[in-house]
């Protein structure tokens, strides 16, 4: 911990590049992002989600899925508190639309799932999203392990296009496919917790009583689940794009894309093997696994492949950090698995590099140059015409000993974003067409498995005053 504090002090004492609004084009969008902020988990007809179940599991046992045993039932209560962002000067906000807020469906009960619309539309949920919303999609019959999700997802997005498309002009079909597939269906550290080798998590899988899908895939190998869920995610995305372009875009005039999250990967050793490993790491995290995985990848039909090709008007990109990649041959005595098919290991950068300073999250080292490297790589590899940075931020550990005034002196975040804006500006000068940057996050909030132990917000949330009061940071 002392080494971390020393690295942080060294980082904060390096010169900060002052970046101003007029350093970017007039049509560049500055915004903030939020997902786990909504709260009101049981109000106005909202149904239970997989994250509701995930946060409740283990509350009575020594090991809990959430570090501080918190949950998102209230979170920071954005359901009732959503007017503050008007005062920030931000020009955009990225949020999610919860299926369970707008549709009357309970996947835990024996309901008719021939159509996800069979339960009807929740008018109160629709009213809420006409102001502001967010939370997660849910699973019930295997979720994205089942090909049935593709049609149901299209029913869901069609309703969103109808209800909100007259005002929403920028749509993201899927936010961060990689963590959803890998952490939710291989490591078991995110909901729905499938694929983990932990006996506790194996038992927890049974909570999805209506799923009919065993914990392991058909071949009894949970290591291939990320490929199957990724396959269905891409299909759901592609058919949603096709629906929007055919039925809504001509008269609503919006644009639509997908958001990927990716680190940048640098080679650990100056060898061809590590250079190839770094490229494979990008393929697996950013490139939707592409062809590097070989046989484990589910096959697309010719029609499906045609739909997926160019199925975006823009690419949303979430960048947080950079890792080293090292070649590691796949064990010959193990079945195919996402964890070994990459043939590499990753690690955080060396302590001697002050631009790899770590603040709160054990996975997030501060590497501002990585956003430049990643953007240039995407332009050169994929020739993406339009990119929005849909998340970028840093989290520090919650410290209840700090006063509100002390906590609002946020030099870490000021320097973090100034440094990243500097490299973002460099990428734009290099020819990358980036038109927006959304800071994660607007306010300190429920950070998934880390609960309330990490603070990413540009607004400080007082979790102790009983009112979840927000305070603007310096």
Contact 256, 312 (CB under 8 A): yes
CA-CA-CA-CA torsion sign (178, 184, 189, 192): positive
Largest CA distance in the chain: 61
CA distance 75 to 267: 39
Q: Which residue out of 139, 260, 266, 391 is catalytically annotated? A: 391
Q: Quote the CA–CA distance of 7 and 354 in Å, as a whole number.
A: 6
391 given a catalytic annotation: yes
Please indicate, yes or no, whether the overall pTM of this predicted structure exceeds 0.85.
Answer: no
Strands of 110-195 (E only): list them: 170-175
CB-based contacts of 369, cutoff 8 Å, min separation 6 = 322, 355, 423
Structure tokens at 211: 């799923």
Q: Identify the CA nearest to 394 among candidates 447, 315, 354.
A: 447
101 Cβ neighbours under 8 A, 6+ residues apart: 38, 44, 45, 46, 122, 125, 128, 129, 133, 135
Peptide bond into 105 cis (omega under 30): no
Q: Specify the DSSP element, H or E, that contains 35.
A: none
The number of domains in the chain is: 1
Quote the domain boundaries for residue 32. 2-472
DSSP 452: T
> What CATH number is attached to the domain comprising 460?
3.20.20.80
- What string of pLDDT tens digits covers the 474 residues of the chain? 555 667 777 777 777 777 777 788 888 877 776 554 455 555 655 555 666 666 666 566 666 666 666 665 555 555 555 555 555 656 676 667 666 666 666 555 544 445 555 666 666 656 655 554 333 233 335 678 888 889 989 999 999 999 999 999 999 999 999 999 988 888 877 877 776 544 333 333 322 222 333 333 333 455 778 889 999 999 999 999 999 999 999 999 999 999 999 999 999 899 999 999 999 999 999 986 554 445 557 888 999 999 998 899 999 999 999 999 999 998 887 777 787 888 999 987 655 554 567 777 788 889 999 999 999 999 999 999 999 999 999 998 888 889 999 999 988 899 999 999 999 999 999 999 999 999 998 888 877 777 778 888 888 989 888 888 889 888
């Amino acid at each position: 911990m002392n080494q971390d504090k020393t690295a942080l002090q060294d980082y904060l004492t390096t010169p900060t590049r002052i970046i101003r609004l007029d350093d970017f084009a007039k049509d560049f969008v500055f915004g903030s992002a939020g997902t786990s902020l909504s709260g009101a988990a049981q109000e106005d007809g909202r149904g239970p989600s997989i994250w509701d179940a995930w946060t409740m599991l283990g509350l009575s046992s020594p090991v809990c899925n959430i570090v501080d045993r918190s949950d998102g039932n209230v979170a920071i209560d954005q359901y009732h508190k959503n007017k503050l962002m008007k005062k920030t000067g931000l020009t955009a906000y990225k949020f999610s639309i919860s299926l369970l807020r707008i549709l009357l469906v309970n996947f835990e009960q024996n309901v008719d799932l021939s159509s996800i619309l069979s339960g009807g539309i929740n008018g109160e949920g629709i009213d809420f999203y006409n102001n502001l919303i967010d939370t997660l999609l849910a699973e019930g019959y295997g979720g994205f392990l089942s090909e049935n999700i593709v049609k149901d997802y299209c029913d869901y997005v069609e309703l969103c296009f109808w209800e909100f498309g007259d005002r929403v002009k920028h749509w993201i079909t899927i936010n961060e496919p990689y963590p959803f597939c890998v952490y939710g269906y291989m490591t078991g550290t995110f909901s729905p917790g499938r694929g983990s080798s932990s006996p506790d998590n194996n038992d927890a899988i049974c909570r999805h009583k209506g799923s009919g899908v065993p914990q392991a895939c058909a071949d009894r190998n949970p290591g291939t689940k990320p490929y199957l869920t990724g396959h269905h995610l891409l299909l759901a995305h592609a058919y949603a794009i096709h629906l929007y372009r055919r039925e809504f875009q001509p008269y609503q005039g919006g644009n639509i894309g997908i958001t990927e999250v990716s680190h940048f990967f640098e080679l650990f050793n100056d060898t061809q093997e590590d250079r190839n490993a770094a490229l494979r790491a990008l393929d697996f995290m950013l490139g939707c696994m592409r062809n590097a995985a070989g046989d484990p990848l589910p096959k697309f039909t010719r029609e499906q492949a045609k739909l997926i090709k160019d199925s975006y008007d823009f690419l949303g990109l979430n960048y947080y950090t950079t890792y080293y990649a090292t070649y590691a041959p796949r064990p010959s005595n193990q079945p195919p698995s996402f964890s070994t098919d990459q043939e590499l290991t990753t690690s955080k950068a060396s302590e001697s590099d002050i631009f790899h300073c770590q603040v709160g999250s054990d996975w997030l080292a501060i590497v501002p140059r990585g956003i430049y490297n990643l953007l240039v790589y995407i332009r050169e590899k994929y020739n993406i015409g339009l990119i929005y940075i849909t998340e970028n931020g840093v989290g520090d550990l919650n410290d209840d000993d700090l006063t509100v005034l002390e906590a609002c002196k946020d030099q870490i975040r000021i320097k973090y974003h100034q440094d990243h804006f500097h490299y973002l500006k460099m990428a734009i000068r290099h020819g990358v067409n980036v038109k927006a940057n959304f800071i994660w996050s607007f306010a300190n909030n429920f950070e998934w498995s880390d609960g309330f132990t990490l603070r990413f917000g540009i607004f400080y949330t007082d979790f102790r005053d009983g009112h979840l009061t927000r305070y603007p940071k310096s």
